Amino acid sequence: MSRSERLLDLLQILRGHRQPVSGQVLADRLGVSIRTLYRDIATLQGQGADIQGEAGLGYVLKPGFMLPPLMFTVDEIEALVLGARWVARRGDDRLGQAALSAQARIADVLPQALRDEMAASALLVGPGPGPAAVIDPAMIRAAIRAEHKLAIRYGDAAGALSDRVIWPFAIGFFDRVQVVVAWCELRDGFRVFRIDRISACSDMATRYPRRRQALLKAWQIERDIAPPP
């Protein structure tokens, strides 16, 4: 394990404890000497981590510390690159541009060695664009963030159109289609709508009566779906 990976592991261990953890316990978890542990604590404090405590009393990480990008492991860099490349190919234009912009921002603050790893990533995303959406999916994402009702016109597999008022709370990305998961007022229940079959969509600027986290949890329970990690 490299030192940067060990420092990352140390932060993750501290994040998992609300009460002070003794230096010896931390050293044992990391498989290092107590002297090395003290040096690692000092390094993280020097990088801005608000770690409070001292030898003999234990250490605790105060909330709010953002992990510096230079602490990413090579595997984490590859995961970020693969995710950004997938979104750039399979997401809508706005989401794709945001993914590429985020990737460039991360690269700008990485050390040269990790920047080279990012540029040379061999994890590729093949072509496979799905049906083009008639509406702008960004409108749905904005409604989810604001917890707003949407008025949509939807065409089923047979082409029959219906007007619905939905409470959108999640979007699912599949290889060829995107779907919005929502509570449908017309059906008085959860429904999944293919975004490419929505021919009209307008934000009603009205908040729906339940929090989207509660809707998502209820839908997962109904469908027996494990929550994402």
Tens of pLDDT, residue by residue over 168-204, are 999 998 888 899 999 999 999 999 999 999 999 999 9
- Contact (Cβ atoms closer than 8 angstroms) between residue 37 and residue 45: no
Cα 62 vs. chain centroid, distance in angstroms? 23
pLDDT in tens, 97-106: 889 888 887 8
Question: Distance between CA atoms of 20 and 175, rounded to whole angstroms?
Answer: 46
Highest mean pLDDT among 14-28, 165-179, 200-214: 200-214
pLDDT in tens, 24-73: 999 999 999 999 999 999 988 887 788 888 777 889 988 766 555 556 77
- Report pLDDT for 130: 60
Average per-residue pLDDT in the chain? 87
% of the chain beyond a pLDDT of 70: 93
For range 11-28, the mean pLDDT:
87
Q: Residue 135: is its pLDDT beyond 80? A: yes
pLDDT bucket at 139, cuts 50 / 70 / 90: very high
Nearest to 229 by CA among 11, 79, 74: 79
